[in-house]
Amino acid sequence: MNNTPLLSAVDLLKTFRVSGQNHSSRTLTALDLVTLHLSAGETLGIAGESGCGKSTLAKVMAGLLVPDAGSVLYNGTLLSQLEQNDKITFRRKTQMIFQDPFSSLNPRMRIGDSISEPLKIAGIPSLQQREEVSRIMAAVGLPGDAVNRFPDEFSGGQRQRIGIARALAAYPDILIADEPVSSLDISIQAQIINILLQMKIEFKLSMMIVSHNLLVLRHICDRIIIMYLGAVVECGPASELFNRCRHPYTEALLASIPGLNPASTPKVELLRDDLPSALSIPPGCRFHTRCRHAVELCRREVPKTIEYASGHTAACHLSGSLYG
């Protein structure tokens, strides 16, 4: 049995130069030694506040951004060492759905042409292209006459369906979705989530879903990674993370979800203060400036990642004493 992850990352570092006053510049650390893996058939969630590096991570894993250091591996092979044909295969087999579907669609291109573009690149005959486009559009709930319409003629939910259809047209193994429902109404969110679940089964997909909405991730994901200021602070099976989290940041995120915990549950203090700037990450544990449990050790030393049962990991000096 092959236990090699379909897609993995080791010690990813990604920074950006940010212009300041008087022509000066500073370094923003978007990803700081991030390690993760996506197994075949798995759905992995990436959660955290805005500015924690989730979208940057998604783009690096999809090969759209190159890390400053660290490695991304596809089927155990470094992306940087893939042969040209294998790179083309990776690009086809790894597709991304963006948060804003309208900006990712060519406003001058009819929807049918946008969806069929991956099929053209793959050299599929025209007749088969039309048949495949019709089948995929029906699968995501788009009407047949949508092929001749333009992006501005659709609602936000319909555009997201178009984005999903275009990604599926390449028959990928991996689907990476960056906040796929964040800009949609609640009822439309449920429809898109159900489509993703159905497409996972029909197309035998492995998925990476980026979202700030932990309830969405609990519904759709096998495992969830919690990010804070560019680093992974906790990772575990979705059900276990909700039932027995092991990091104060995760605890605060869960406590902020309305109606999640019964009234009898002891009240957990919500996140205090704003997220620090990624231009100046606090020393020691990067969460200590907002953590109600922080002690001097937290301010001084970076915590090691400790593995608990069921592959549940957390990077916290106090995890053992806080959560048993």
pLDDT 10s digit of each residue in the chain, 324 long?
Answer: 567 899 999 999 999 988 777 667 888 999 999 999 999 999 999 999 988 999 999 999 999 999 999 999 999 999 888 888 888 889 889 998 887 766 777 788 888 888 888 777 777 777 888 888 888 888 888 888 888 888 888 887 888 888 888 888 888 999 999 988 777 778 788 888 888 898 899 889 999 999 988 998 998 999 999 999 999 999 999 999 999 999 999 999 998 887 666 544 455 666 777 888 888 899 999 999 999 899 999 999 999 999 987 789 999 999 988 887
Domain edge (last residue) among 221, 252, 284 = 221
Assigned domain for 124 exists? yes
CA triplet 321, 293, 213: central angle to 5 degrees? Answer: 95
- Structural domain count of the chain: 2
Looking at the structure, tell me whether residues 116 and 162 fall in a common domain.
yes
Pairing of β 223-228 and β 206-210? unpaired
The secondary structure element, H or E, covering residue 215 is helix 214-220
CB 10 within 8 Å of CB 70: yes
pTM (2 decimals)? 0.89
Structure tokens at 13: 């570092």
- 186 φ/ψ angles, rounded to the nearest 5 degrees: -55, -45
Strand partners, 18: 26
Q: Provide the 3-class DSSP secondary structure of residue 251.
A: helix
Assigned domain for 53 exists? yes
Looking at the structure, tell me whether residues 147 and 267 fall in a common domain.
no
> Quick count: other Cβ atoms within 10 Å of Cβ 115?
29
Looking at the structure, tell me whether residues 182 and 308 fall in a common domain.
no
Give the C-alpha separation, 164 to 216, whole Å: 17
Looking at the structure, tell me whether residues 182 and 266 fall in a common domain.
no
Looking at the structure, tell me whether residues 252 and 215 fall in a common domain.
no
What residue numbers bound the domain in which 312 lies? 244-324
Structure tokens at 134: 């019709």
